[in-house]
Amino acid sequence: MKNWKKNIILFLIIFFGCDYPVPESNLSYDFLENFNKASISPGPDKVFRYQSWMKGTEGRDAMVIGVYGTVTFQLNPDEVGDELYFGLRLRNPDTAAAICNISVKANDSISVVFSKNLNTRYRAADRDWSDAKVDFSRFKNKSISVTFSVQFDGTDAWVEWSSPILLANQ
C-alpha cells in the first residue's frame, strides 16, 4: 500500500517538476507585471510587451525580445528576492540562433548572471522551453537594475522569456 503512494508522489514530482511553485508570500518581484516600468532599447520594434500564447497544450506569458533588444528593470532593495525563475525559448525555433543574457548592475558594477547560446539548427533541445533558476542572494537588500538582452549569433532571432519572477526564501 505504501509503495503506490511513493510512486504517485514521484510521478507528481516528475510531471510537475519543471513548473516552479509561486507562493504569493514568497513573490518579491514579477517582471511581467512591472513591464510598463521597464526601459526598452533600442525601441518597441525590438521588444514586445508580453503576450499569452499557446504551443501545443502549453500556454505561457512572456516578454519577447529581438536581436539587439534589451529590457532593463530598476528594483528597490525590498523588491530583490533570493532567486530568479524564468523560462526561455526561441520564437522562431527551426532556424534561429541567439545569445541570451541577464545582467545585474549593483553599486556601479555589472555582473552577467545568466548567459545561454540557443541554436536550434544544431541543438534540437533548444526548440523547447527550458526553465532556469539564478541565485540572486548576493543582491539582496541592494538597489539594482536587471537587464534581459538578446545578442546576434548569426540569425535574426526573437527570444521569449516566460514569467520571470524573483522569489524570497522563507
How far, in Å, CA of 48 to CA of 98, rounded? 17
Q: Which has the closest alpha carbon to 133: 118, 153, 116, 149?
A: 116
Assigned C-alpha cell, 123: 541543438
Q: Which has the closest alpha carbon to 163: 24, 25, 33, 16?
A: 33
In the three-class reduction of DSSP (H, G, I as helix; E, B as strand; rest coil), residue 128 is classed as coil
Identify the CATH homologous superfamily for domain 23-167: Galactose-binding domain-like (2.60.120.260)
pLDDT at residue 74 in the model: 98
How large is the average pLDDT for residues 18-25? 53
Q: Is the pTM of this model over 0.75?
A: yes
pLDDT at residue 82 in the model: 96
**Domain extents for the chain?**
23-167
How large is the average pLDDT for residues 65-75? 92
pLDDT surpasses 50 at 9 = no
More confident residue, 60 or 41: 41
Which residues, including other chains, have CB under 8 Å from residue 145's CB and lie 6 or more apart?
Answer: 72, 73, 74, 75, 104, 105
The mean-pLDDT minimum among 29-38, 64-73, 108-117, 153-162 falls in 153-162
Q: Which has the closest alpha carbon to 31: 55, 63, 68?
A: 63
